[in-house]
């Protein structure tokens, strides 16, 4: 598509439930990122996928968080047994390959999925 | 490890006044620095990057490796500059790496 698409745009859930957030990156973009945006916390890195390489999961805050990227395109971020502190906007971003050649580590962001855990 | 610090969470100036949003970083290698902006009800988007050495919407930012800073400046602020600004850093040595963001500065330009 023309941009990075995320769904749902808004999700309200009860504490303890599982949620799935979806990201559809720009076609041809090999790198995909998930960030969490919380008030006062800035943008917190969660996970990064690059092509067929093993993902960088070092930002996932707990084992309740997981993400996968199927076929090198769509990604799903899953939060199990949600807690109130998981409430935030979850942003997905993608970028094209050849970062080192062009020096263009420029991310295109989606509109985000706002998660509210009651 | 890479770290980005934006010491001001909130910054308020009057229209026509100069504005400077501070950004300091910590990184042992050769960094790439960026400024991203998020206007109200819009997506986060790139404003400028140090490699390009360009001025966007009147904003400039110079990478100062001695002071490990990448402050964003504009000589005459406009009301439409009101937004959340994030400074970001990535390392240039690795073939793929995360982009680390600061906590952001909410800029308000008053009429």
**Inter-chain CB proximity A50 and B96 less than 8 Å:** yes
Mean pLDDT of chain A: 90
**Inter-chain CB proximity A33 and B98 less than 8 Å:** yes
Q: Which of B46, B98, B101 sits opposite A106 (nearest CB)?
A: B46
Please enumerate in sequence order all residues whose Cβ is within 8 A of that of A64, keeping only pairs 6 or more positions apart, or say none. Answer: A79, A80, A81, A82, A83, A86
**B24 in helix, strand or coil?**
strand
Dump the DSSP string for A19-77: EEEEEE--TT--EEEEEEEETTTEEEEEEEEETTSPPB-TT--STTEEEEEGGGS-EEE
Q: Rg of chain B's alpha carbons, rounded to an integer?
A: 14
CB atoms within 10 A of CB B62: 12
CA distance to partner chain A, nearest, from residue B17 (Å): 26
**Which chain A residues are closer than 8 Å to B101 by Cβ?**
35, 42-43, 45
**Which chain A residues are closer than 8 Å to B9 by Cβ?**
40
B50 phi and psi angles, rounded to 5 deg: -70, -30
Q: Which A residues 85-104 touch B at CB under 8 Å?
A: 91, 93, 99-100, 103-104
Beta strands A88-95 and B19-21: pairing type?
unpaired
Residue B92 has pLDDT above 70, yes or no: no
Please enumerate in sequence order all residues whose Cβ is within 8 A of that of B59, keeping only pairs 6 or more positions apart, or say none. Answer: B35, B47, B48, B72, B73, B74
pLDDT tens for each residue of B30-45: 888 999 999 999 999 9
Classify burial at A104, counting beta carbons within 10 Å of its beta carbon; exposed 0-12, middle 13-18, buried 19 or more.
middle
pLDDT tens for each residue of B43-78: 999 999 887 878 889 999 989 989 999 999 999 999
**Which chain B residues are closer than 8 Å to A33 by Cβ?**
98-99
Q: Return left, alpha or beta for A28; rule: phi > 0 is left, psi -120 to 50 is alpha, else beta.
A: left
pLDDT tens for each residue of B2-28: 899 999 999 999 999 999 999 999 988
Residue B94 has pLDDT above 70, yes or no: no
Q: How far is CA A50 from the centre of its chain?
A: 13
How high is the pLDDT of residue B54?
82
Residue A82 · residue A13 · CB < 8 Å: yes
Question: What span, in angstroms and rounded, lies between the C-alpha atoms of B37 and B50?
Answer: 15
Give bridge partners of residue A51 from the DSSP assignment. none
Q: How far is CA B36 from CA A35, A106, B21, in A?
A: 14, 10, 12
B13 touches chain A (CB under 8 A): no
């Amino acid at each position: 598509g023309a941009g990075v698409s995320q769904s749902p745009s808004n999700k309200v859930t009860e504490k303890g439930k599982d949620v799935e957030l979806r990201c559809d990156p720009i076609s041809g973009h090999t790198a995909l990122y998930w960030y969490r945006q919380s008030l006062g916390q800035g943008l917190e890195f969660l996970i990064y996928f690059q092509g067929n390489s093993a993902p960088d999961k070092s930002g996932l805050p707990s084992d309740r968080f997981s993400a996968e990227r199927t076929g090198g395109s769509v990604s799903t971020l899953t939060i199990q047994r949600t807690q109130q502190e998981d409430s935030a906007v979850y942003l997905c971003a993608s970028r094209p390959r050849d970062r080192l050649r062009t020096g263009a580590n420029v991310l295109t962001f989606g509109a985000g999925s706002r998660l509210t855990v009651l | 490890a890479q770290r980005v610090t934006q010491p001001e969470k909130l910054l308020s100036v009057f229209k026509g006044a100069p504005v400077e949003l501070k950004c300091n970083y910590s990184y042992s290698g050769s960094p790439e620095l960026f400024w991203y902006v998020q206007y109200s009800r819009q997506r986060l988007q790139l404003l400028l990057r140090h490699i390009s050495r360009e001025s966007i919407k009147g904003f400039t930012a110079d990478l100062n490796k001695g002071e490990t800073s990448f402050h964003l400046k504009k000589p005459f602020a406009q009301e439409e500059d009101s937004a959340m600004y994030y400074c970001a850093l990535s390392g240039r040595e690795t073939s793929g790496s995360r982009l680390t963001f600061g906590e952001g500065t909410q800029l308000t330009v008053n009429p």
